[in-house]
Structure 1
Amino acid sequence: MQTVWTLPYWEIAFRLFVAGILGGLIGWEREKNNHPAGFRTHILVSLGSALIMLISIYGFSDFMGQKNVQFDPSRISAQVVSGIGFLGAGTILRHGVSVTGLTTAASLWVVAGIGLAVGTGFMFGAALTTVLVLVSLELLNRLEKILIKKRRLRIIQLIVADDPGKLGELASLIARNGGSIRKVNMDEGEEDDHYLGITFHVRLPEKITLAELCEEIRKVKGVKTVRTE
């Protein structure tokens, strides 16, 4: 039986190289969309998983012939599946009342699986999973944006004075104009502690335009800037 000492170097290098490429493809999609874990993180997770899988399969073959030794190649690799949750949890962030990073955490978990698959030599499954993940992250993301536009869901980004009750005042204004708030994000001002960044995800009725709503918001005392997407 082959061991890590008898496995051809080109085979080891090929598997690690493929793991790095597949993990990097998914990481690049995260990187260009400014998510917490990007290109390098996904490559490292995939490479590490592939290396652990190689060790798990071939690293202990010399001990198989010894008495009372049971060989289980899944024992070490199984720890990757549970251990990657620690890294994924670090990408989940809370901004105000919203939570972000869940998709990035899931992509790290999938990349760990891809690395394990490449380590075992299951190239077809690893490649196909990579393609499906990229389709889910890229194409479905575009489809989601199209559907959001059709539902007249609009994003309004504000820089406002950090005054008590300002969020409630703005939310009431949007409601009075017929808007329905679906999500709110709040960020403390990095350059000026006296201002807050507030992002509203608002569904608008047909009778009111985004420009009209923004004009009403600009009239509120303490509103510094108004931007839309």
Structure 2
Amino acid sequence: MLVTSYPSWWQMLAVLSVAVVLSTAVGMERQLRQKSAGMRTHTLVGLGAALFMIVSKYGFSDVLTEGLVTLDPSRVAGQIVSGIGFIGAGLVFVRRNKVRGLTTAASIWLTAAIGTASGAGLILPAMFVTGCHFVIAFAYPVVVRYSRLGKSSQHLLRVRYADGTGALRRIISACTEHGLAVQGFATRHPDADAGAGGVLTRLRDNLDTAMPLASGVEVELELYGTTNLSELMTQLSVLDHVDGVHCDDPLE
């Protein structure tokens, strides 16, 4: 729906609704992967970008005077592109020399573009780009996993378990059985995070140095190799005294 003249109110609401639907779809994918920016963030970004575009195109019609006052709607679109960078930058961080949050930051940037296109009335391009997002998000990891591009990669696995039950050794044993090298791991008590930085014990290559922690411990494992992580996570989730398993892609 490309609007060439001043649109009616229902046309404006229609393009805003399209922005909401497409932005929610992108955010849902991030939400399912349990990323820091999910459906709400992506939907707000897309809807806000669409409204900014509508305001840029039609919000100043009452002050336009032929030959005296002219406006360039593309200027607001350019400011959306630069302004959304602040949100994206806040999602990217470095932890233990690994960059995280890049994909989520890129999806925020893409959602702003989808919202801007929707607000401009370019519905088909916005829908096409939304579809491309799902192809990239779901198909590309499969290509990487089964090609030489994915021969060896790094993963961050978080497992919560009951302390004092021997679960940690079984968890590490399951990882090595799947051909993954444990480069290092850290254990912490999640409930202690509200205190003075939490309780953190950094361990490398020596399980016998592990200090006993309170019940309800989370271990964060740095793994390297190639394997079907879904199978590993399924195996870990059914181990005795394991309460939860979550995997983070270092580049997500």
Aligned length: 186
CA RMSD of aligned residues (A): 3.4
TM-score by length of structure 2 reads 0.63
Distance 2:72 2:246 in 1: 56
Q: 1:153 to 1:64 in 2, by over 3 A?
A: closer
For residues 190 and 108 of structure 1, what CA distance do their matches in structure 2 show? 29
Long gaps (5+) in structure 1: 160-178, 205-209, 211-226
Question: What is the CA–CA distance in structure 1 between the aligned matches of 2:54 and 2:104, rounded to whole Å?
Answer: 26
Q: Percent identity?
A: 33
Rounded to whole Å, the distance in 2 between the matches of 1:228 and 1:111 is: 26
| CA deviation after TM superposition for structure 1 residue 201, in Å | 2.6
The whole-number CA distance in structure 1 between the counterparts of 2:113 and 2:185 is 32
Structure-2 change in CA distance of 1:182 and 1:60 (3 Å): farther
Mapping of 1:186-205 within 5 angstroms? 189-191=189-191, 193-196=199-202, 197-203=219-225
Paired residues of 1:93 and 1:100 also in contact (CA < 8 A): yes
Q: In structure 2, what is the equivalent of residue 26 of structure 1?
A: 26
Q: Secondary structure at the match of 1:99?
A: strand
Distance (whole Å) between structure 2 residues aligned to residue 143 and residue 71 of structure 1: 46
CA distance in 1, matches of 2:82, 2:141: 27
> Counterparts of 2:19 and 2:117 in 1: how far apart (Å)?
9
Q: So what's the TM-score if we normalise by structure 1?
A: 0.69
Shift of 1:93: 2.5
| CA 1:96–1:39: 2 relative to 1, 3 Å | same
Any gaps of 5 or more consecutive residues in structure 2? 160-178, 193-198, 203-218, 227-231, 233-244, 248-252
Contact 2:31 2:39 in 1 (8 A): yes
Shift in Å at residue 20 of structure 1? 0.5
The equivalent of 1:106 in structure 2 is 106
Task: Tell me the CA shift for residue 182 of structure 1.
Answer: 10
Q: Deviations over 1:98-157 (max 9, x none)?
A: 111001100110110110100111011000000001110122123334448973658585
Q: Which structure ranks higher in relative contact order (CA pairs < 8 Å, sequence separation ≥ 6)?
A: 2
